[in-house]
Amino acid sequence: MSNLEDRPEEVTAGPAVTPGVEIMTPRDVPLGGPRAMRVRRTLPQRQRSLVGAWCFVDHYGPDDVGDTGGMRVAPHPHTGLQTVSWLFTGEVEHRDSAGHHAMVRPGEVNLMTAGRGISHSEVSTSSTTTLHGAQLWVALPDSHRDTAPRFDHHAPAPVTGEGWEARVFLGSLLGDTSPVPTATPLVGAELRLAPGTTLPLSVDPAHEHGVLVDAGVVGVAGTDAKPADLAYVPPGRSTVTLTSYDEPVRLLVLGGPPFGEPIVMWWNFVGRSHEEIVGFRAEWQQQITDAGLVDGRFGVPVGERLPPIPAPPLPNARLKERR
Ligand code: MN
């Protein structure tokens, strides 16, 4: 990468702000339940619904499970998306209706493809005392959203350099490539920086990126982002320089080309129209009977013991397209 390409980002005097980098701050959302674990949601937002195909970013913890009761998300449906689970601390038990029973562990990605429909549950294990991680969704393009459900797991070997360590769980970054297939080009990686590190990250200029900061303040192409912020970097850069200051940094880099298809998102569904979402909701509600969850579009999670979560009522207004 030539210095010329990097030059616009190399303004380091003072709290420089590079035009184009946009700091998105989280909102606090209770996940529900008696003691309600809370998450910091940075996507979707009113002004931005997607970063590449990434359409949902929840960041949580570190939470003392003794205070929050941990994660106990009963069976619920998904369509038209993939869920990407990434933990920093703790352990979560996953069950889905495509027959997968798996553990989500720190440094290992679990990617669940809903395709035309799946249901799953997520419960933190009894040995978990601290929960800390991110729950991410990827919108499937029209060409892939009716596929059969599937599940992929990958434990990336760390890639290291001077003052940094990376785990690339989707796509390619820093010389490593994840074997997990994606329907649109995507990047997903955890990066840790030692204090005082400058890392010029070579990226695909066709991609836009979101840098989710977990710990420490980090300069993202010249704009500082603090923990829980999502720094949005528009397409057009071949280098995104990350800078740590006097504390260690941990962050996630999420990227991909602008999605380009309008989507309708409601509850746990990604569709293309109001009517489609109404139909998905009705099909899930039909699976919930006095005898428990019965088979249908979304199936029944394997070995499930928790009762399913009914869909909330639809809003009175028509659901709007996001782009
Ligand atoms: Mn889910």
Strands (E), 67-114: 72-78, 81-89, 92-96, 101-104, 109-113
Q: How far is the CA of 83 from the centre of ligand 1 (A)?
A: 7
* End-to-end Cα separation, the chain, in angstroms: 32
Q: How far is the CA of 268 from the centre of ligand 1 (A)?
A: 7
Q: How distant, in Å, are the alpha carbons of 52, 65, 267, 270, 300 from that of 76?
A: 25, 22, 10, 14, 10
pLDDT at 34: 53
The per-residue DSSP string of 161-180 comes to ETTEEEEEEESEETTEE---
Give the whole-angstrom CA distance, residue 256 versus residue 85. Answer: 18
Q: How far is the CA of 219 from the centre of ligand 1 (A)?
A: 32
Q: How far is the CA of 194 from the centre of ligand 1 (A)?
A: 33
CA 191 to chain centre: 15
Q: How far is the CA of 121 from the centre of ligand 1 (A)?
A: 7
In CATH, the number for domain 18-256 is: 2.60.120.10
pLDDT at 3: 39
Give the whole-angstrom CA distance, residue 58 versus residue 45. Answer: 12
CA 186 to chain centre: 12
pLDDT at 19: 54
Q: How far is the CA of 96 from the centre of ligand 1 (A)?
A: 10
Residue 13, C-beta contacts closer than 8 angstroms, at least 6 positions apart: none
Q: How far is the CA of 55 from the centre of ligand 1 (A)?
A: 13
Q: What SS3 state is found at 31? A: coil
Give the whole-angstrom CA distance, residue 273 versus residue 265. Answer: 9
Residue 232, C-beta contacts closer than 8 angstroms, at least 6 positions apart: 21, 22, 23, 24, 48, 51, 208, 209, 210
Q: How far is the CA of 37 from the centre of ligand 1 (A)?
A: 15
Q: How far is the CA of 293 from the centre of ligand 1 (A)?
A: 16
pLDDT at 35: 62
The domain limits of the chain are 18-256
Residue ranges of the chain with per-residue pLDDT less than 70: 1-19, 32-35
- Chain segment 157-212, per-residue pLDDT in tens: 999 999 999 999 999 999 999 999 999 999 999 999 999 999 999 999 999 999 99
Q: How far is the CA of 288 from the centre of ligand 1 (A)?
A: 17
Q: How far is the CA of 47 from the centre of ligand 1 (A)?
A: 24
Residue 160, C-beta contacts closer than 8 angstroms, at least 6 positions apart: 166
Q: How far is the CA of 228 from the centre of ligand 1 (A)?
A: 21
Q: Which of 26, 10, 8, 20 minimizes the C-alpha distance to 214?
A: 26
Q: How far is the CA of 122 from the centre of ligand 1 (A)?
A: 8
Q: How far is the CA of 107 from the centre of ligand 1 (A)?
A: 19
* Partners of 114 in beta bridges: none
Q: How far is the CA of 56 from the centre of ligand 1 (A)?
A: 11
